[in-house]
Amino acid sequence: MRAVGIATMKHGPPHTARGFTLIEMVLAIGVMTIVMIVINSVFFTALRLRDRTTEIVDQIQPIQRTIAVLRRDLLCVMEPAGILSGNFKAGEVSEPNLSRDAVMELYTATGALGNAEPWADIQKVTYELKDSATPTASGGKDLIRSVTRNLLSTSTPDVTDQRLMGNVRNLLVECYDGDQWMDTWDTSDGNTNLPVAVRIRLELADSGVVGAPQPIEMVVPMVAQFVTNQLQVVSSLGN
């Protein structure tokens, strides 16, 4: 018979799982706290930057739209003659239909043509500053663009008020006659010519969003010119 040997296995001392020491736990918690503070600071800085950017964009968009509308109305101004055109006034304009003091009144070919509105593209536009319906601490006013489409109405025409922007402190209009800038212009007061150019100065009230706002200026040349009160003298020499 063959003897079968039974191998006996010898086991060493059991391995024990090694845990974190107290110092390692404190260091890990400290590093995690620093990382969370940095992440929190970056996150809230990004939120504040987003809110500030949104406020600035919300303030700039009405200004850009207002400038675009003003420029378009002035570039398409009509000559102060004819059935569907009237006088050009700038400065202190008395407008009885609005019962308010306006800043500028003109006739311009910027009316939208449509099947639902049987009017021409020529419309009467008046710009004025009006007290805001929601007053603010800055005391700014609303810039209102009043539009009259039916210029052939035999009764009191309908006037549509369009609010362009708010928080306006002042709107100044100056007209250039070829030699100097003038504070007022009225073609119904003898001078039937349009100015050579119009300068708009838009002063904003301090809203606290972007600090003290700088005034916005633009100069628009008058493309249409209607001269009736100039005498052209032609002199001949010789014969």
pLDDT digits (tens, 9 = 90+) for 93-110: 655 554 455 789 999 999
Contact of 127 with 143, CB cutoff 8 Å: yes
> Residues 199, 203, 209, CA angle at the centre, nearest 5°?
140
Average pLDDT of the chain?
79
Query: How long is the chain?
Result: 239
pLDDT tier at 11, thresholds 50, 70, 90? low
pLDDT tier at 185, thresholds 50, 70, 90? very high
Weakest-pLDDT range from 38-42, 111-115, 125-129, 224-228: 224-228
Q: Which two tokens stand for residue 73?
A: 């109305």
174: CB partners within 8 A, 6+ apart = 90, 181, 182, 183, 198, 199, 201
197: nearest Cα among 167, 217, 171, 168:
217
pLDDT of residue 124: 92
Question: Stretch 202-212: mean pLDDT, rounded?
Answer: 70
125: nearest Cα among 81, 71, 172, 166:
71
Please state the pTM of the whole predicted model. Answer: 0.67
Contact of 198 with 173, CB cutoff 8 Å: yes
Instruction: DSSP for 35-51, please give it.
Output: HHHHHHHHHHHHHHHHH
Residue 8 has pLDDT above 90, yes or no: no
pLDDT of residue 209: 54
pLDDT of residue 47: 79
